[in-house]
Amino acid sequence: MTDLLDVKDLWVRFPTRNGVFDAVRGVSFKLGRERLGIVGESGSGKSMTGRAILRLIRAPGQVEAAHIRLDGEDLLQKSEAEMRKVRGERISMVMQDPKFSLNPVMTVGEQLIEAYQLHARGGKAEARRRAIEMLEAVSIRDPERVMRAYPHEMSGGMGQRIMIAMMLIPDPELLIADEPTSALDVSVQAQVLQILDKLVQDRGMGLIFISHDLNLVAQFCDRVLIMYAGRVVETCDADKLHEASHPYTRGLLNSLPRFDAPQERLEVLQRDPTWAAAPSVGPSA
Amino acid sequence: MSALSFEGLNVWFGEGRDRVDAVKGATFQVAPGETFGLVGESGSGKSTIMRALTGLAPHWSGHMSVNGRPVGRRRDKEFYKTVQMVFQDPYASLHPRQSVDQVLSETLYLHGFTDIEPRIEKLLDDVGLGPSFRFRYPHQLSGGQRQRVAIARALAPEPSILLLDEPTSALDVSVQAEILNLLTDLRAEHDLTFLMVSHDLAVVGHMCERIAVMQFGEIVEILGVDEMRAMQTTQPYTRSLLKASLGYIRD
| Average pLDDT of span A45-71 | 89
Q: What is the pTM of this model?
A: 0.83
CB neighbour list of residue B207: distance below 8 Å, 6 or more residues apart: B35, B37, B180, B183, B184, B194, B196
Per-residue CA distances from B70 to B65, B85, B96 (Å): 4, 19, 35
Distance (Å, whole) CA B221 – CA B236: 10
Q: What is the Cα–Cα distance from B9 to B21, expressed in whole angstroms?
A: 11
Q: What mean pLDDT value characterizes chain B? A: 90
Q: Do B244 and A258 touch (CB under 8 A)?
A: no
d(CA A68, CA A8): 6
Residue to test with chain A: of B248, B249, B250, B251, most A Cβ within 10 A? B248
DSSP string computed for A157-183: HHHHHHHHHHHHTT--SEEEEESTTTT
Which strand ranges, in their side-by-side order, compose the sheet holding B20-30? B20-30, B4-13, B60-66, B69-70
Chain B contact present for A251, CB below 8 A = yes
Provide, as residue numbers in chain A, all residues whose Cβ is less than 8 Å from the Cβ of B249: 219
The band of B251, judged by pLDDT with boundaries at 50, 70 and 90, is low
User: Which CATH superfamily, name and number, covers A1-90+176-285?
Assistant: P-loop containing nucleotide triphosphate hydrolases (3.40.50.300)
Contact criterion met (CB < 8 Å) for B173 and A42: no
A156-168 helix and A108-119 helix, angle to the nearest 10 degrees:
20
- The Cα of A162 is separated from the nearest Cα of chain B by a number of Å equal to 19
CA separation for the pair A267, B248 (Å, rounded): 25
Does A274 score more than 90 pLDDT? no
C-beta separation of A220 from A193 below 8 A: yes
Condensed to tens digits (0 to 9), the pLDDT of residues A66-99 reads 999 998 889 989 998 999 888 888 898 888 777 7
User: Is B88 a domain residue?
Assistant: yes
Calculate mean pLDDT across residues B131-146. Answer: 89
Q: Residue A283: its pLDDT value, please? A: 64
Q: How many domains does one find in chain B? A: 1
Residue of chain B with shortest Cα separation from A251:
B174
> From residue A252, how far is each of A233, A242, A245, B168, B177 by CA, in Å?
13, 11, 12, 15, 9
Report the alpha-carbon distance of residue B242 to residue B229 in Å, rounded: 9
Judge: B42–A259 Cβ closer than 8 Å, yes or no: no
Inter-chain touch B244–A186, beta carbons under 8 Å: yes
CA dihedral A219, A221, A225, A226 (to 10 degrees): -20
A230 secondary structure, DSSP code? T
Instruction: Give yes or no for residue B124 having a pLDDT over 90.
Output: yes
Q: How do the domains of chain A map onto residue ranges?
A: 1-90+176-285, 101-171
- Contacts (Cβ under 8 Å, ≥6 apart) of A62: A11, A12, A13, A14, A15
Q: Largest Cα–Cα distance of chain A, in whole Å?
A: 63
Q: What is the pLDDT of residues B102-122, one digit of tens each?
A: 999 999 999 999 999 999 999
Residue A182 confidence (pLDDT) above 90: no
Write the DSSP string, A196-208: HHHHHHHH--EEE
**SS3 labels along B62-100:** EEEEECCEECCCCCCHHHHHHEEEECCCCCCCCCCCCCH
Amino acid of residue A163: M
Helix (H) or strand (E) holding A91: strand A91-94
Strands A73-74 and A35-39: unpaired
A9-23: average pLDDT: 89
Q: What is the pLDDT of residues B217-235, one digit of tens each?
A: 999 999 999 888 888 888 8
Q: What percent of chain B has pLDDT over 90?
A: 58
Is B250 part of a structural domain of the chain? no
Mean pLDDT of A153-180: 85
Describe chain B by its helix, strand, coil percentages, rounded to 5: 40, 25, 35
Closest Cα in chain A, distance from residue B51 (Å): 21
Count of residues for chain B? 251
Question: pLDDT (tens digit, 9 = 90+) per residue, B19-34?
Answer: 888 999 999 999 999 9
As beta bridge partners, residue A225 has: A38, A235
Confidence of residue A285 (pLDDT cuts 50, 70, 90): very low
pLDDT given for residue A167 in this prediction = 84
For the sheet containing B193-197, what is the strand order? B83-86, B161-165, B193-197, B35-40, B210-215, B218-224
Task: Report whether B16 contacts B187 (CB < 8 A).
Answer: no
Rg (CA), chain B: 18
Q: Check residue B197 and give its pLDDT.
A: 92
Contacts of B206 in chain A (CB under 8 A): 257-258, 262-263, 266
Handedness of CA B176, B181, B185, B187 (dihedral sign): positive
Phi, psi of A78 (to 5 degrees): -80, 150
Which residues neighbour B235 within 8 Å (Cβ) at sequence distance 6 or greater? B213, B220, B221
Kindly tell me if the per-residue pLDDT of B250 is higher than 80: no
What residue type is B90 in one-letter code?
P
Percent of chain A with pLDDT over 70: 98
The verdict on a CB contact (< 8 Å) between A212 and B143 is: no
| CB contact at 8 A, A188 and B241 | no
Residue B251 falls inside a structural domain: no
Q: Which domain holds residue B117?
A: 4-245
- CB-based contact, A119 to chain B, within 8 Å: no
Q: Which residues contact A17 (CB under 8 A, 6 or more apart)?
A: none
Residue of higher predicted confidence among A9 and B41:
A9
Q: Which helix (DSSP H) or strand (DSSP E) does residue B236 occupy?
A: helix B236-245
> Which long-range CB contacts under 8 A does B99-104 form with residues at least 24 apart?
B99/B134, B99/B135, B99/B136, B99/B137, B100/B124, B100/B129, B100/B133, B100/B134, B100/B135, B100/B136, B100/B137, B100/B141, B100/B149, B100/B152, B101/B134, B101/B135, B103/B149, B103/B153, B104/B149, B104/B152, B104/B153, B104/B156
Q: In whole numbers, what is the pLDDT of chain A averaged over residues? A: 86
Q: Do residues B238 and A186 make contact, with C-beta atoms less than 8 angstroms apart?
A: no
CATH number of the domain residue B195 falls in: 3.40.50.300
Higher pLDDT, B222 or A214: B222
Encode pLDDT of B40-83 as tens digits: 887 788 889 999 999 998 899 999 999 999 998 888 888 999 99
| Candidate from A193, A215, A267 with C-beta closest to B177 | A267
